[in-house]
């Protein structure tokens, strides 16, 4: 179907598949585990710094006591005030306010830049300090604790190395040291005592910390593995469900849902706009009959072979799916429509001989989706402008139009198909209201005696005079009524209407002739059809002999026993019964043998075509009239249009002629004028 520029109303699909992509889950799990590792590292670091600062504060408390004793010794003018600190066995030195070292015990490895510790240490371990502040300095020979730019940090690389060395040592009593220098100002800032404090980590503490870290790391790794396995399991399960959802149980290939899902993806991506797409429905004709003659298992094997054959001919970004029974949905790309048609014909020919023991028939319906070359259309075109379900339904509609054909072939959906479907829908919607509003009008076509040119009868024909649709001829709506069953309502309407007209004309003093009313074959499934007709005619008060019931020849192919019973009842009630379209079918003579008919109507095709008027044609018509007379039946010739035919029929003893030569179908008022003559 050509894209007209008007956007179709896009209907959201009844499914939207959301695929759970595993790489997204894995990425999220990696992000989570990375965040957890960072959190663990920050937590361990913060905890370790917290512990170290607690020890520093504890060491500072001891240093305060020593500093107080030193000050006390200075104030009592002790000869050697340093002894009180020397006895503690600590490395320390004292510096005056000018920075000169006035006393040193041990080695001075104090670093240059200190860390203001007063605001952090206060309250950390609950020890009150007697000084306003103190500073912590790194040890220049051991960088386990780093202090730079007033920033306190732990050198974990050095600590871990020393810890590993400690754990590898044979002696469990060894330990590692984290030395720092604590500055305690005394004598109102005139001097500052620098104490060397060594935080010690024993082997037992190191092992405990190591085990805790390993346990936490193992726990996090386990959690990660559990989440990863769960993600992979969910992804695998979803893939299996998706595959099952998109798999046809007969062919083990793709199904209709996959076709619609993938097809819409292809349409939205717009790559096909450079050429075009064709939506195709291929149907295996008489698949069910094949299963009855062979078996369902053999039928399914054939369906698998057909799917494999079609699928092998699909190109890149083309689709094939088994939709139902013997139907397959295809989406083909094409650059030239003539090549597309040739390709589909070749595909159908290849499928016909897919099984050497049988020759199959395949019908294809095609809906061609194409766009004009205007760049503006391509620029603003969106995938939602095309509904794949509608396109596939169009292809199915085209395929259904040749279901009665015994030959393989393809039909292409066009605007005429669309208009036909819209018309069918319009008829279906309006038929009941049209009947209730008396929009159906009865026309009458007279029947004349060819020998005397006198009116001998008439046929009632229906027309539809719609306020919206205008004048609608029967061939546009009668076939639809026959398909949807509304024809039975029309039959009732026509019989009642004709009976009322006949009664009215009788009351007006006209000499009425029998009028035939066609009754559809659908009516003959009703066992009380004769009673229904009788009651409708009696309700109008019309004599039964003025109503003739006309049956088409095709009606005789149904339940023959029920047909004979109904005809006999009608004749008992005084109605005449005629066979319409005699000669149009293949069992006419057999029908005449069994059916007690009153009138035989020769089909109009007897008087049309190449054989009309020839010796062979005249022989057939002449013998048909003789046969009817031998069976005590009157004859009516339909479709007679020229005088030569009238003269020939009169010479053969035909009772009545109905055709344009005498009169066309006319409204009741015009027919009434004919009766006056």
* Domain range list for the chain: 23-218, 256-413, 437-671
CA 242 to chain centre: 14
One of 3.30.70.240, 2.30.30.110, 3.20.20.450, 3.10.200.10 is the CATH number of 437-671, namely 3.20.20.450
pLDDT in tens, 55-68: 888 888 888 888 88
pLDDT at residue 357 greater than cutoff 90: no
Q: Is the pLDDT of residue 127 over 60?
A: no
665 falls in which pLDDT band (50, 70, 90)?
Answer: very high
What percent of the chain stands above pLDDT 70? 84
pLDDT category, 380, cuts 50, 70, 90?
A: very low
Q: What is the pLDDT of residue 26?
A: 67
Average pLDDT over residues 545-558: 79
Tell me: the pLDDT tens digits for 71-117?
888 888 767 888 888 888 889 999 998 888 899 998 888 888 777 76
pLDDT band, residue 150 (cuts 50/70/90):
low
**Looking at the domain covering 256-413, what would its CATH class be?**
alpha beta
- Low-confidence winner among 62-71, 198-207, 643-652 (lowest mean pLDDT): 198-207
**Averaged pLDDT score across all residues of the chain:** 82
Q: How far is CA 257 from the centre of its chain?
A: 6
> 323-332, 374-383, 613-622: which has the highest mean pLDDT?
323-332
Residue count of the chain: 677
| pLDDT score, position 322 | 93
Position 385 scores a pLDDT of 64
CB 502 within 8 A of CB 540: yes
For residue 112, the cross-strand partners are: none
Spatial CB neighbours of 302, under 8 Å, sequence gap ≥ 6:
284, 287, 290, 354, 355, 360
The answer to whether domain 256-413 and domain 437-671 are alike in fold is no
Helix (H, G, I), strand (E, B) or coil at 336: coil
Residue-wise pLDDT for 587-628, tens only, equals: 467 777 778 899 998 887 777 655 455 678 788 889 889 999
**For range 206-211, the mean pLDDT:** 71
Q: Among 218, 197, 234, which residue's Cα sits nearest to residue 22? A: 234
pLDDT surpasses 80 at 346? yes
The helix-helix angle for 203-245 and 22-75 (nearest 10°) equals 160
Give the pLDDT confidence of 238-280 residue by residue, as tens digits.
778 878 888 888 899 999 999 998 888 888 776 666 678 899 9
How would DSSP label each residue in 348-383? HHHHHTSSTT----EEEEEEEEB--S-HHHHHH--G
Q: For the segment 465-507, what is each residue's pLDDT rounded down to a tens digit?
A: 999 889 998 989 998 898 888 999 999 999 999 999 999 999 9
Check: CB of residue 540 under 8 Å from CB of residue 507.
Answer: no
Phi first, then psi, for residue 655 (nearest 5°) are: -75, -45
Q: Which residues contact 107 (CB under 8 A, 6 or more apart)?
A: 91
The string of pLDDT tens digits covering residues 576-586 is: 999 887 876 55
CA distance 347 to 353: 11
């Amino acid at each position: 179907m050509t894209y007209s520029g008007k956007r179709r109303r896009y209907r959201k699909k009844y499914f939207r598949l959301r695929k759970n992509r595993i790489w997204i889950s894995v990425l999220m799990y990696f992000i989570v585990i990375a965040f957890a590792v960072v959190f663990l590292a920050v937590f361990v670091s913060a905890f370790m710094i917290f512990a170290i600062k607690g020890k520093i504060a504890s060491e500072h408390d001891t240093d305060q006591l020593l500093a107080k004793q030193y000050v006390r010794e200075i104030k009592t003018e002790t000869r050697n005030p340093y002894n009180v600190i020397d006895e503690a066995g600590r490395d320390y030195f004292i510096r005056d306010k000018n920075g000169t070292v006035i006393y040193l015990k041990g080695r001075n490895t104090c670093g240059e830049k200190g860390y203001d510790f007063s605001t952090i240490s206060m309250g950390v371990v609950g020890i009150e300090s007697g000084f306003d502040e103190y500073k912590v300095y790194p040890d220049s020979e051991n960088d386990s604790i780093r202090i730079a730019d007033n920033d306190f940090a732990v050198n974990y690389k050095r600590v871990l190395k020393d810890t590993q060395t400690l754990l590898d040592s044979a002696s469990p009593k060894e330990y590692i040291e984290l030395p720092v220098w604590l500055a305690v100002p005394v004598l109102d800032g005139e001097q500052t005592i620098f104490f060397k404090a060594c935080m010690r980590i024993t082997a037992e503490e190191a092992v405990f910390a190591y085990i805790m870290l390993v346990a936490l790391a193992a726990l996090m790794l386990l959690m990660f593995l559990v989440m990863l396995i769960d993600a992979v399991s969910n992804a695998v399960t979803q893939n299996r469900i998706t595959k099952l959802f998109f798999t046809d149980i007969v062919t083990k290939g793709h199904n209709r849902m996959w076709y619609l899902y993938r097809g819409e993806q292809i349409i939205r991506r717009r790559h096909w706009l450079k050429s075009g797409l064709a939506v195709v429905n291929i149907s295996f004709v008489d698949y069910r009959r094949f299963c009855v003659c062979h078996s369902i298992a053999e039928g399914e094997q054939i369906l698998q072979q057909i799917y494999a054959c079609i699928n092998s001919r699909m190109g890149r970004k083309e689709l094939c799916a088994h939709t139902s029974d013997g139907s397959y949905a295809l989406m083909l790309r094409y650059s030239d429509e003539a090549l597309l048609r040739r390709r589909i014909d070749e595909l159908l020919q290849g499928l016909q001989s897919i099984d050497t023991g049988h020759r199959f028939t395949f019908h294809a319906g095609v809906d061609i989706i194409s766009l004009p070359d205007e760049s503006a259309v391509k620029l603003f075109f969106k995938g939602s402008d095309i509904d794949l379900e509608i396109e596939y339904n169009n292809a199915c509609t085209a395929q259904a139009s040749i279901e009665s054909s015994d030959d393989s072939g393809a039909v292409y959906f066009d605007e005429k198909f669309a208009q036909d479907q819209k018309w069918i829908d319009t008829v279906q919607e309006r038929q009941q209201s049209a009947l209730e509003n008396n929009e159906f009008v009865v026309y009458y076509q007279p029947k004349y005696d060819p020998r005397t040119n006198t009116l001998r009868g008439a046929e009632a024909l229906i027309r539809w005079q719609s306020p919206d649709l205008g004048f609608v001829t029967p061939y546009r709506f009668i076939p639809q009524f026959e398909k949807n069953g509304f024809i039975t309502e029309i039959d009732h309407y026509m019989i009642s209407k004709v009976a009322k007209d006949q009664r009215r004309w009788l009351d007006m003093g006209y000499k009425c002739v029998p009028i035939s009313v066609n009754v559809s074959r659908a009516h003959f499934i009703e066992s009380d059809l004769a009673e229904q007709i009788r009651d409708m005619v009696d309700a109008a008060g019309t004599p039964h002999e003025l109503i003739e019931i006309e049956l088409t020849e095709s009606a005789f192919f149904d339940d023959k026993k029920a047909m004979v019973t109904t005809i006999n009842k009608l004749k008992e009630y005084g109605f005449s019964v005629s066979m319409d379209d005699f000669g149009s079918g293949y069992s006419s003579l057999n029908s005449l043998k069994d059916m007690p008919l009153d009138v035989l109507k020769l089909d109009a095709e007897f008087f049309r075509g190449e054989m009309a008027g020839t010796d062979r044609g005249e022989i057939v018509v002449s013998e048909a009239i003789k046969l009817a007379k031998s069976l005590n039946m009157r004859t009516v010739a339909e479709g007679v249009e020229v005088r030569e035919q009238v003269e020939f029929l009169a010479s053969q003893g035909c009772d009545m002629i109905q055709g344009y030569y005498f009169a066309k179908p006319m409204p009741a008022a015009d027919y009434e004028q004919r009766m006056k003559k």
